[in-house]
Structure 1
Amino acid sequence: MLIAATCFAVGGSLRGAGTELAEAAGRPGGVLLLIAALLANAAGLVLSMLSWRVLVVDGGSTARPSDTARIFFIGVISKFVPGRIWGVLAHIQLGKAVGIAPERMIAAFGLGLVIGMTTGAAAGLLVAPAVFGAGAWVFAPLVLLAAAAVARPGWVGRLVAWTMRLARRPDGAAEGSPRALRLSIGWACASWAVSGLHLWAIVVLLGAPPLLSLPVCVGGFALATVAGSLAFVLPDGWGARELVLLAPLGAVMPLSAATAAVIASRLVCVLSEVAATGAALAWARAAGPLPTPRPALQEGAA
């Protein structure tokens, strides 16, 4: 049922984007740049999966990489259905099938969400010089704060643990080890850097200056994605992400070209997400049957 609802939502999100992408593909070098954009976003998704996986296996889980990839990417396509609850439920049920405790899956989901948003907001600071010019120095304290979060990542776990206590959920797995948190933050930062390159390929194709637009695309895409995640009542942040992305792109290209870029970006993201999910499902199938289902151990149980 989740897959059917997702397919319906994906079809709606792509409506109207085909014309912009077809026009972009017709430009010189357009096809190669669009293929590069698809590959860049797919690579960013893989890095994001690695950021989440280190949190899942932090408790000593022996789940196969193919199984965790399957769980992650099914969660990815569930975002096309309004509300985050579907992704959480999918993670819990699929985790149980490979012996991962629900508390571990909830904790990894919460930690991954906090890490993704904080690192995305930090990456979004890259747009400051292009948008604010000489006044961008006022954001320097935020850069130092982001660096401090990497040096002392424990606050991330404590925040999620506090949230789980408010929700009356066991929080023994919520804080995570410092090593796992640092690895997750590192993979998340790499994911933002790589996934933003898909937008850069698109705006260069549409005539934006390459050097000036690179930090704007990486930072702008990260910031817009975080904004779309906060608009959780919208399928994949539809509308909110595009609106936020228009502002930084408007600093390096005409508004009409920026509008075409954000629409093409949406289509590239959806296609790469669906393709990556299909590849993950095929990988899990090729790896053979899932291990024999067994009761998921509670965190902290002997």
Structure 2
Amino acid sequence: MSAGVDQERETAGPGGAEDGSEPPEAAARPSRRARLLRTAAALVLIAATAFAVGGSLRGAGTEMAEAAGRPGGVLLLIAALLANAAGLVLSMLSWRVLVVDGGSTARTSDTARIFFIGVISKFVPGRIWGVLAHIQLGKAIGIAPERMIAAFGLGLVIGMTTGAAAGLLVAPAVFGAGAWVFAPLVLLAAAAVARPGWVGRLVARTMRLARRPAGAADSSPRALRLSIGWACASWAVSGLHLWAIVVLLGAPPLLSLPVCVGGFALATVAGSLAFVLPDGWGARELVLLAPLGAVMPLSAATAAVIASRLVCVLSEVAATGAALAWARAAGPLPTPRPALQEGAA
């Protein structure tokens, strides 16, 4: 809501506007249609999430039960859940840097709520739902739609670029001595960190094509570098969930560590590109099988991929629930005190 609107309501007096229009409390209340749309969107999101959890349980229930029955299995599976949840938190911090870089003082609890609702919106086919959720929820805490769109676009570019760079970790295991041919890509990733302005220019150009104000994409180099750093940390930590699973299934720990971190990042990027599929189902698993097949039998790699899907879904739902509880505990945004008019006592 703009400052001009707030000022008009503040000077209207406690009984409403001077022209007899409705009081500010009534104007602030959402309309019946808006409430119905919000309820319908929530129900669709809950149904899509339940379908994702149910599908993952049906597909990976046997593998998870067998893995849990192995020595240390329960502890490793809990570690896998915590690792992916921690990676999601780091990813949220990477995105939040871009949101508040424009001067927003939004609380971390509120931005976490927006981010994680966007995370589970990927269970609904099409990336547009995540963008719409970010826009609507951002407006509710005073962040302009243009800023939310720019942060979404910047976060997407940074996430996919750093994910592709992390994916290079699988090269030695898959290509052996021929992995050196990927060295130029490593240099390119380093150059992107040194000169991050290209990310903002790319998103600004896209926003101009969409006829949206491109100024919101002008993030500072410091914010872009910080976002890139959080994103890299997110890939490193979230990939540990897959490592815990493959070690539990018998893969060599040292050899499989870079394969799991790089393979999970690369597979997640591939799943993001397959945006017509809910959460990239199928595409992610196919990409992940190739590097895992280099460090363990194909049957074990298949079981690890299926178990990884379940761990990711459960940790995403749990992290979203925690974020919603945190935002609820933080309470509503404080209402600014009305400004005193000149000459008022």
Structure-1-length-normalised TM-score: 0.95
Q: 1:271 to 1:172 in 2, by over 3 A?
A: same
Residue of structure 1 in register with 2:156 after alignment: 113
> 1:237 and 2:267 equivalent?
no
Q: Is the 8 A contact 2:158 2:199 kept in 1?
A: yes
- CA distance in 2: counterparts of 1:298 and 1:232, whole angstroms: 52
1:1-302 residue pairs with structure 2 within 5 A? Answer: 1-292=44-335
Percentage of identical aligned residues: 97
Over the aligned positions, Cα root-mean-square deviation in angstroms equals: 4.2
- CA distance in 1: counterparts of 2:101 and 2:113, whole angstroms: 18
In the TM superposition, what is the alpha-carbon distance from 1:17 to its structure 2 partner? 1.0
- CA distance in 1: counterparts of 2:65 and 2:194, whole angstroms: 45
Higher RCO (CA-CA < 8 Å; seq separation 6+)? 1
Q: 1:58 to 1:105 in 2, by over 3 A?
A: same
Deviations 1:74-124 (A, max 9, x none): 000001111001100000000011000000000000000000000000000
In the TM superposition, what is the alpha-carbon distance from 1:3 to its structure 2 partner? 2.8
Q: 1:96 to 1:120 in 2, by over 3 A?
A: same
> Which one has the largest radius of gyration?
2
- CA distance in 2: counterparts of 1:297 and 1:8, whole angstroms: 53
Q: Is the 8 A contact 1:103 1:298 kept in 2?
A: no
Structure-2-length-normalised TM-score: 0.84
Q: Is the 8 A contact 2:252 2:295 kept in 1?
A: yes
Q: Is the 8 A contact 2:166 2:262 kept in 1?
A: yes
In the TM superposition, what is the alpha-carbon distance from 1:7 to its structure 2 partner? 2.5
Q: Is the 8 A contact 2:157 2:199 kept in 1?
A: yes
Deviates most, 19-28 or 4-13: 4-13
In the TM superposition, what is the alpha-carbon distance from 1:16 to its structure 2 partner? 1.6
- CA distance in 2: counterparts of 1:84 and 1:127, whole angstroms: 28
Q: Is the 8 A contact 1:103 1:299 kept in 2?
A: no
Q: Is the 8 A contact 2:196 2:224 kept in 1?
A: yes
Deviates most, 3-12 or 138-147: 3-12
Q: Is the 8 A contact 2:204 2:218 kept in 1?
A: yes
- CA distance in 1: counterparts of 2:154 and 2:320, whole angstroms: 22
Q: Is the 8 A contact 1:104 1:299 kept in 2?
A: no
Q: Is the 8 A contact 1:221 1:245 kept in 2?
A: yes
Q: 1:116 to 1:272 in 2, by over 3 A?
A: same
Q: Is the 8 A contact 2:154 2:217 kept in 1?
A: yes
- CA distance in 2: counterparts of 1:25 and 1:80, whole angstroms: 27
Q: Is the 8 A contact 1:40 1:195 kept in 2?
A: yes
- CA distance in 1: counterparts of 2:343 and 2:313, whole angstroms: 39
Q: Is the 8 A contact 2:52 2:313 kept in 1?
A: no
Deviates most, 191-200 or 15-24: 15-24
The count of corresponding residues between Structure 1 and Structure 2 is 302
Q: Is the 8 A contact 2:53 2:314 kept in 1?
A: no
In the TM superposition, what is the alpha-carbon distance from 1:4 to its structure 2 partner? 3.0
In the TM superposition, what is the alpha-carbon distance from 1:237 to its structure 2 partner? 0.4
Q: Is the 8 A contact 2:63 2:307 kept in 1?
A: yes
- CA distance in 1: counterparts of 2:343 and 2:310, whole angstroms: 44
- CA distance in 2: counterparts of 1:292 and 1:11, whole angstroms: 41
In the TM superposition, what is the alpha-carbon distance from 1:11 to its structure 2 partner? 2.4
- CA distance in 1: counterparts of 2:293 and 2:77, whole angstroms: 21
Q: Is the 8 A contact 1:44 1:194 kept in 2?
A: yes
- CA distance in 2: counterparts of 1:81 and 1:300, whole angstroms: 55
Deviations 1:37-87 (A, max 9, x none): 011000000000000000000001011100000000000000111100110
Q: 1:253 to 1:295 in 2, by over 3 A?
A: farther
In the TM superposition, what is the alpha-carbon distance from 1:301 to its structure 2 partner? 28
In the TM superposition, what is the alpha-carbon distance from 1:15 to its structure 2 partner? 2.5
Q: Is the 8 A contact 1:96 1:293 kept in 2?
A: no
Deviations 1:126-156 (A, max 9, x none): 0000000000000000000000000000001
In the TM superposition, what is the alpha-carbon distance from 1:289 to its structure 2 partner? 1.6
Q: 1:12 to 1:181 in 2, by over 3 A?
A: same
- CA distance in 1: counterparts of 2:325 and 2:339, whole angstroms: 25
In the TM superposition, what is the alpha-carbon distance from 1:292 to its structure 2 partner? 4.7
Q: 1:234 to 1:218 in 2, by over 3 A?
A: same
- CA distance in 2: counterparts of 1:299 and 1:130, whole angstroms: 72
- CA distance in 2: counterparts of 1:299 and 1:199, whole angstroms: 63
* Corresponding residue SS for 2:316: helix
Q: Is the 8 A contact 2:53 2:310 kept in 1?
A: no
Q: Is the 8 A contact 1:126 1:215 kept in 2?
A: yes
Q: 1:112 to 1:67 in 2, by over 3 A?
A: same
* Corresponding residue SS for 2:143: coil
Deviations 1:255-285 (A, max 9, x none): 0000000000000001110000000000001
* Corresponding residue SS for 1:11: helix
